[in-house]
Amino acid sequence: MKQGGSFLQNLLENNVVQFLKKPQAIARILAGLFSLIIFASLMTDGYENPTASSQLHCVLNDNRAACSYATVAGVLAFLQSFLFLSLDAFDIISISHRVKSAILILDAIFSIIWSCIWFVAFSFLANQWTKSIHRYLLGSSSARASISFAFFSIPCWVYLGYRALKELWTEPSVPYQRSFDEGAVALTTLSSVTTTSIPISGEHYSPSEAPPTGSPHNPKTPPTHRLSFSNDN
C-alpha cells in the first residue's frame, strides 16, 4: 500500500502530469479531441446513399460543401491544437523571450480565427441539417455529433485566445530596448566629440614648425598700448 501511494504521489508530481493539469493544456486537448470527432464522424458516416440511389451524398442536406468545410476545418484545427500543445511543453524547458512573444502572438491570432471558423461551421451545419430532406440511419448521428462538437469548440478557442492575450499583456518589456537607446546616446556623444576635435582648416604642421601668426591655431594677439610721459624741460 505504501509503495502504491508513493508511486501515485510521484506520478502526480511528475512534470508531464503537472503540465497536463494546466487549464491551457486541457483546453488545447479538448479542442483537438472535438476537432477529431468532427472530421472523423463526417469522414466515416458523413456520406451515405439513399435507398433509391447508389450515389453517396452528404448527410447535411446533400451539400458536399458543408461536409467538406467541417472536415477540412477539423483536420487543420486538430493539427494546430497539438502543435501549440507541443510548443507549450517546449516552453517549460527553455525558450527565448522573442520566440515566446512570437508564439503568443500567433496563438492569439489563430485562436480568434478558429473561434470565428467554428462559429460559422456551427451555424452552417445546423442550417443545412434543418433543411435536410433525407434522413440516414448512420449519417444522422454523425451530423448531430459534428454540429454539437462544432459548438463546443467555440468556447475552447475563445479561452485559448484569452489566455494568449493575457500572457502577452503580462510579458515584460523587450530586454534589448534599453541597450538600443544607450547605443544611440553613445553614438551621438561620440559623433559630437569627433566633430569638435576636427580642425577647421586643412593645414598641417610638423612638430618643429609653429603655425603662422593669425592662423586659427595661433590667433594674433592684439598690440598693447602703453602710456608715455614726455619731459618738457
DSSP string, 186-210: HHHHHHHHHHHHS-SS-----TTSP
Instruction: Report the range out of 15-19, 72-76, 83-87, 221-225 with the highest average pLDDT.
Output: 72-76
Task: Give the three cell numbers for residue 59.
Answer: 448527410
Q: How many CB atoms lie within 10 A of CB 23?
A: 10
H/E stretch holding 57 reads strand 57-58
Q: Which residue has the cell 591655431?
A: 217
Q: Which helix (DSSP H) or strand (DSSP E) does residue 142 occupy?
A: helix 139-170
List the single range of 73-77, 129-133, 219-223 with lowest mean pLDDT: 219-223
Could you tell me the pLDDT band of residue 58, with boundaries at 50, 70 and 90? confident
Please give the share of the chain, as a percent, with pLDDT higher than 70: 61
| CA nearest neighbour of 114 among 145, 144, 84 | 84
Structural element, H or E, at residue 136: none
Listed residue (134, 146, 152, 165) closest to 61, CA to CA: 134
The length of the chain in residues reads 233
CB 146 within 8 A of CB 70: yes
In a domain, 50, yes or no: yes
Q: What CA–CA distance (Å, rounded) separates 63 from 124?
A: 11
If you compute the radius of gyration of the chain from its CA atoms, what whole number of angstroms results?
A: 39
> Domain for residue 210, yes or no?
no
> Could you tell me the three cell numbers for 49?
446513399
Instruction: Tell me whether residue 224 is in a domain.
Output: no
Residue 194 within any structural domain of the chain: no
**Predicted confidence band at 224 (pLDDT cuts at 50, 70, 90)?**
low
pLDDT higher at 4 or 32: 32
Residue 139, in any domain of the structure: yes
Out of 25-39, 54-68, 135-149, 167-181, the most confident range is: 25-39
pTM score over 0.85: no
Range of the domain at 45: 22-172
pLDDT at 185 over 70: no
- Evaluate whether residue 109 is within a structural domain: yes
In angstroms, the CA 60 to CA 67 distance is: 7
pLDDT score of 80: 94
Lowest-pLDDT range of 54-58, 79-83, 101-105, 148-152: 54-58
DSSP 231: -
User: Averaged over 30-53, what is the pLDDT?
Assistant: 87
List the CATH number of the domain containing 164.
1.20.140
- 98 inside domain: yes
Which amino acid, 86? S
Give the count of domains, the chain.
1
